[in-house]
Amino acid sequence: MKKFSIASRCPLALSSRVRMPGRKVLKIIDLERFRPIHRILIPSLSGPSILLPAGSERAARRVAQPASHRKVNHQMGNQMKSWLWVGAMATVIALPALSGAARAGGTDDFGCRDATLKGEYAFGVTNFTKPQVVAGVKIFDGHGNLKQQDYLGDTSPPEFSMPGQETGTYIVNPDCTGSMVIKGPSSREIDILFVISDGGRHIHEVVSLFIPSASVGPVSGQTSADDWKVASEQDH
């Protein structure tokens, strides 16, 4: 009779074998207690056979599985985790991008209105296409109307334009972007797109269309301007 040893190291005697598909169930006699103990015999090609308690089918299948299969399963598990990680990161990246697209569409309300621009603003203009500078003052009424006086550098006489010669309209969007159109002598027209910052105290402008006179027509160029509220914060 063949003897085996398990974790308790008690002497065991093989009594009989019962063949079952994919495994062998052994009826083993504990020589010290003289009672039958059922164990599952897991054959191994690379080492000694293994005895497991009966009912440990899941553990038996795992032990009996070839090492190559266990490696493949481990790799597949890691790959699935990697896919889940990539998917989660894509979601995290996509959500802010979609939110940014919504902001770019002007759907956000940051509290800006026509009334955000009210009072006197000093401004400076820089023409990057043709070396030229302008300084002036805009006055917004808070209801979409404005007037301005300015001085174009290196012109004669060296003085600001007469009051009332340049007037215009403006529109402020809830997301603090906006547009304005200023008209002057000789059908001069300046179309501007702008962004408001500092709670309405600063305006960043870019000229989108410039028509020096009705006879000349639109002139392309790269011109920007910045406006700062003249009154101090303590005055409001």
Sole residue written with tokens 């074998």: 17
What six digits make up the tokens of 6?
């398990």
What six digits make up the tokens of 28?
């083993």
Q: What is the pLDDT of residue 17?
A: 45
Same domain flag for 29 and 119: no
Q: What SS3 state is found at 66? A: coil
Instruction: Name the pTM for this structure.
Output: 0.54
What is the C-alpha to C-alpha distance for residues 153 and 3, in angstroms, rounded to an integer?
110
Same domain flag for 132 and 57: no
Same domain flag for 131 and 193: yes
Task: Give yes or no for a contact between 12 and 2, defined as CB atoms under 8 angstroms apart.
Answer: no
Same domain flag for 123 and 227: yes
Q: What is the pLDDT of residue 148?
A: 96
Q: What is the pLDDT of residue 109?
A: 86
Same domain flag for 121 and 199: yes
Strand partners, 90: none
Q: Is 94 contained in some domain?
A: no
Nearest to 142 by CA among 163, 121, 157, 165: 121
What is the C-alpha to C-alpha distance for residues 20 and 114, in angstroms, rounded to an integer?
86
Domain of residue 191 covers 114-235
- pLDDT mean for each 10 residues of the chain (236 residues): 44 45 50 52 52 51 53 62 59 48 59 97 94 94 97 88 93 98 93 97 97 90 96 73
